[in-house]
Amino acid sequence: MIKNVVLIGFMGTGKTSSGKMIANQLGFKFIDMDRAIEKKWGMTIPQMFEQHGEAFFREKEKEMCREVAGKKSVVISTGGGTVKDPDNVAILKQSGKIVCLMASVEAILERTATIGQRPLLDAYEDRRQGIVELLEQRKAMYAQADYTVDTTDMSPLQVSRDVISFMKRR
């Protein structure tokens, strides 16, 4: 019996695109926490940041974390900052195997170039610098994963195969 797969990692590392493929191949349901929060609250994440602030979003993120962690046979794609809260990490660790997706700063910059989708990055005048700083702040949190994949030069399909082979070795 394969456990839930919990994808953590910085923005633009491929959690959503690879997560959907992992779920497909395992016959699991795919849950994107950010999309679930947006659906529940009837607003986009950028709108939530703008109208209520980051702290409000983090509260809703924590609630969603508890909600999805209790499900079975799911692939959960977290937001890039979900693991900033140690309670969330503890909850997710009980739910399944934690897989961290990483990528180079250049790849992240390219994959997150659209303005208006990532409020945390939009707040930086120098986007590249913002990515470097946030990655540095968060690296210890991402290091808590059971398994890590560098997706820089990989397609989502390749990433999904790599993650599935890790899950089957467990």
Instruction: Please choose, out of 19-27, 62-70, 75-83, 162-170, the segment that lies near ligand S3P by the rule CB under 6 A.
Output: 75-83
Element containing residue 128 per DSSP (H, E): helix 127-142
The dihedral over CA atoms of 92, 44, 41, 32, expressed in degrees to the nearest 10, equals: -30
The encoded tokens of residue 117 equal 């989708």
Dist CA 135 CA 141 (whole Å): 10
Considering only residues 109 to 128 of the shown chain, the ones binding ligand S3P according to CB under 6 A are 118-120
Instruction: Please choose, out of 17-25, 76-84, 101-109, 143-151, the segment that lies near ligand S3P by the rule CB under 6 A.
Output: 76-84
- Our CB check for ligand S3P shows the closer of 108 and 167 to be 108
Residue 79 interacts with ligand S3P (CB under 6 A): yes or no: yes
Residue 95 amino acid letter:
S
User: In the bound complex, what is the minimum distance in angstroms from residue 120's beta carbon to ligand S3P?
Assistant: 5
The dihedral over CA atoms of 98, 143, 77, 1, expressed in degrees to the nearest 10, equals: -10
How many residues of this chain interact with ligand S3P, rule: CB under 6 A? 10
User: In the bound complex, what is the minimum distance in angstroms from residue 104's beta carbon to ligand S3P?
Assistant: 16
Residue 11 interacts with ligand S3P (CB under 6 A): yes or no: yes
- Our CB check for ligand S3P shows the closer of 2 and 144 to be 144
DSSP E strand boundaries for 117-156: 147-150
- Our CB check for ligand S3P shows the closer of 59 and 168 to be 59
Element containing residue 77 per DSSP (H, E): strand 74-77
- Our CB check for ligand S3P shows the closer of 17 and 170 to be 17
Considering only residues 30 to 69 of the shown chain, the ones binding ligand S3P according to CB under 6 A are 34, 45
User: In the bound complex, what is the minimum distance in angstroms from residue 27's beta carbon to ligand S3P?
Assistant: 24
For 34, counting Cβ atoms within 10 Å of its Cβ (0-12 exposed, 13-18 middle, 19+ buried), the class is: buried
Dist CA 46 CA 53 (whole Å): 9
Residues in contact with ligand S3P by the rule CB under 6 A = 11, 15, 34, 45, 79-81, 118-120
